[in-house]
Chains A and B, each alone.
Chain A
Amino acid sequence: MTVDRRGWRVRLLTLWLPLAIALFFALFPFYWMAITSLKSNQELYSRKVMPLIVHNPTLKHYVDLLTETSFLEWTWNTFLVAVVSTAISLILGAMLAYPLARMRFAGAALVSFAVAATYLVPQPLLFVPLADLINRLGLGDTLTSVMLTYPTLLIPFCAWLLMGYFRTVPVELEDAARIDGASRLQTLVKIVLPLCGPGFISAGIFAFTLAQNEFLYALIFLTKTEVRTVPVGAIAELVRGDVFYWGQLMAAALLGSIPVAIIYSFFVEHYVAGLTAGSVKG
């Protein structure tokens, strides 16, 4: 805009310099993760070696992580839990969103208030009663415990996002289907859902990254190696007493972040749509 006419100096100060600082701040920890994971222990724990680059790269930490710890099992658990809880959240979220977006029924205001309230309940508020509940149900140390509790964090978001998408489907389309004899369920499944694909992708990606990120419930409910997720496994088993296995920790952090980052990079536009939908449209 006006900036362009004032030449490159202004552009440097108002665009490139702040962008460079922001990018450096945002990305340095990832760079640090990557190079730390490639350093030998000698290099890691030496104060004399210049630490900003890798002098003798080695894959030892990765080999150790994959062969000596249950990292692969944790990765599988994390993935499984994220997929199942995302699927549950999308289905239940859509079941909430469609009537709230389209229909008038007694109690609609109450239901939408309850969904909004659930959205705002932070996990630390509920972990004590939930821990007790999970124990009583005999679900301690099972992946089911987190597959059941994660959707409570994801459903409100999915419902909110999908409501916006359901509202964009022209009512006339639904009316036409109904006149042609389709039931309400058929209208939803055959007319509305196919038109809301992007909404489901946005909500799904967002829910998936949130599920990968969850830590508190997993830390409390999953105490055995074979059921742990990556974040809990890394914190609980790659730190033994006061000994931090930094190389392996960084390798685990990097490998644990990569699946999320890859999925995110494919759907970044959908993710941003999901991120901004709630606040901008609302």
Chain B
Amino acid sequence: MTAVLAPALTRRRPPFSLSRWVERESVFSWLMVALPVAFLVALVGYPFFYGIWISLQDRPVAKPGEFVGLANFIRAWHDPVFRQVAVNTIFYTAAATLLKMVGGLGLALVMNQDFRFKNLTRALLLLPFIVPTVLSTIAWQWILDPAFSVVNWVLKAADIADPGPSWLGNPHLAMFSLVIVNTWRGLPFYAITLLAGLQTIPPDLYEAATIDGAGRWGRFRYVTLPLLMPIIFIVTMFSVIFTFADFQLIYVLTRGGPANATHVFATYAFDIAMGAGQFGQGAAIALSMVPPLALIILAMAIYMRPSKS
């Protein structure tokens, strides 16, 4: 009918219609993603680059900064505490990741059998991972208390040591304790995720391997491990990033002590920025996490990538 009334119009481009414009795939998509993208740019993208800018300034808290180039990074490089922090962080990450990976894989294999109360067991084993870390870490702090540690009470009752060691007071033991508590919290994540991965492996692959003469180890080595590798890779990558940048656990248990023996990048950056009020130096220390982290992830990508197996 419109064609009859307005023949001239139909021959030209259809008049602009907002509702039709919105229906275009690209327009609709961008209308949807625009808000979340703007949100993330404002609160992640912008702060990231702004952080780089701050790290290039001498900037006491609440004062205007003064551009100093790479001075903060150079000072960090010559700071013996910073070097210790780097070593601590790498050791902490490596030890905790290894324990979580091996323990988590072991637990996943144990859980991948049929038994009663499987779902309940899985739910209980995940508890350390879901409970707020700071709160469970407070419990660990009491378990490892210098005077009233229950571990030491057991050691004493069993006539092994009296008095027991100072779990958080001795530099080596403090690091050891942190690794154990981190493993306690993170192991369930590995176990449950790897268990889900194990359950996706088709049983006939195991049958085929058994027919080909593979024993228990052979089945694990040539069926389970290769098929699980992509999941192990992703889980480990996540875990490495968040262990490397861990803050809560260390802040609660040792605050980086004794004598900086357990300071890591995050706690040291926090001390410098928030404690000493040196925003520029703190930002530089926090940013120093990026290169080693990138290297670790790159190395993992090269050695663990599924395509390699």
Known: A120-B241, A256-B132, A278-B234. A234 touches B138 (CB 8 A): yes
| Docked-complex contact B269 and A128, CB < 8 angstroms | yes
**Pick from A28, A129, A152, A272: contact of B122, CB under 8 Å:** A272
Min CB gap A166→B, angstroms: 12
The 8 closest A-B pairs by CB, nearest first: A122-B245, A124-B266, A231-B134, A276-B196, A105-B29, A99-B29, A129-B51, A92-B36
A98–B36 Cα gap in the complex (Å)?
Answer: 12
28 A–B contacts, CB within 8 A, in A order: A1-B114, A22-B107, A22-B125, A22-B191, A26-B124, A29-B139, A30-B131, A36-B139, A45-B148, A93-B36, A103-B28, A114-B40, A123-B245, A125-B290, A128-B54, A130-B43, A130-B47, A212-B132, A215-B133, A230-B135, A231-B248, A246-B145, A253-B135, A257-B132, A261-B127, A271-B130, A275-B189, A280-B193
A32 to B144, CA, bound (A): 12
Assess whether B32 is interfacial by the CB under 8 Å rule.
yes
B40 contacts A155, C-beta separation under 8 Å: yes
Q: Is the CB of A246 within 8 A of B142?
A: yes
Residues of A within 8 A of B26 (CB): 103-106
Q: Which chain B residues lie closer than 8 Å to A152 at the CB level? A: 39-40, 43-44
Instruction: Report A-chain residues with C-beta under 8 Å of the C-beta of B300.
Output: none
Residues of chain A contacted by B245 (CB below 8 angstroms): 122-125
> Distance in Å from the Cβ of A81 to the closest Cβ of chain B?
12
Q: Which residues of A contact B25 (CB under 8 A)?
A: 103-105
Among A29, A47, A115, A264, the residue within 8 A (CB) of B136 is: A29
Q: Nearest Cβ distance between residue B46 and chain A, in whole angstroms?
A: 8
A268/B29 contact (C-beta < 8 A), A95-B36, A257-B132 known = no
**Interface of chain B residues 1 through 52 with chain A (CB within 8 A):** 19, 22-23, 25-26, 28-30, 32-33, 35-37, 39-40, 43-48, 50-51
* Chain B residues closer than 8 Å to A232, beta-carbon distance: 134
Docked complex: B163-201 residues within 8 A CB-CB of A: 184, 188-189, 191-193, 196-197, 200
Flag if B39 contacts A92 (CB, 8 Å): yes
Partner of B153, one of A51, A213, A250: A51
Across the interface, B247 reaches (CB within 8 A) one of A185, A212, A216, namely A216
Known: A123-B247, A128-B54. A105 touches B40 (CB 8 A): no
With contacts A149-B43, A235-B134 known, is A125 near B48, CB below 8 A? yes
Alpha-carbon distance between A260 and B122 when the two chains are bound, in angstroms: 16
Q: Which residue of A lies closest to B242 (CB)?
A: A122
* Distance A36 CA – B135 CA, assembled complex (angstroms): 14
Which bucket holds chain B's interface residue count?
35 or more
Taking beta carbons and an 8 Å cutoff, which residues of A are in contact with B? Answer: 1, 3, 14-15, 18-19, 22-23, 25-30, 32-33, 36, 44-45, 47, 51-52, 92-93, 95-96, 98-100, 103-108, 111, 114-115, 118, 120-133, 135, 148-149, 151-152, 155-156, 159, 183-185, 209, 212-213, 215-216, 219-220, 230-232, 234-235, 244, 246, 249-250, 252-253, 256-257, 260-261, 264-265, 268-269, 271-272, 275-276, 278-280, 282
Q: Is the CB of A96 within 8 A of B139?
A: no
Whole-angstrom distance from the CB of B276 to the nearest CB of chain A?
Answer: 12
How far, in whole Å, are A106 and B43 apart by their CA atoms in the complex?
23
Q: B205 near A: Cβ within 8 Å?
A: no
CB distance B124 to A23 under 8 Å?
yes
Tell me, in angstroms, the Cα distance from A252 to B137 when the chains sit together.
12
| Contacts A15-B115, A183-B23; A95 near B28 (Cβ below 8 A) | no
Interface contact A96-B279, CB-CB below 8 Å: no
The reply to whether A128 and B286 form a contact with Cβ atoms under 8 Å apart is yes
Partner of B150, one of A52, A115, A123, A220: A52
Select B130's contact among A115, A234, A244, A264, beta carbons within 8 Å.
A264
Cβ proximity bits B92-119 to A, threshold 8 Å, 1 near / 0 not:
0000000000000011001101110001
Distance A218 CA – B46 CA, assembled complex (angstroms): 20
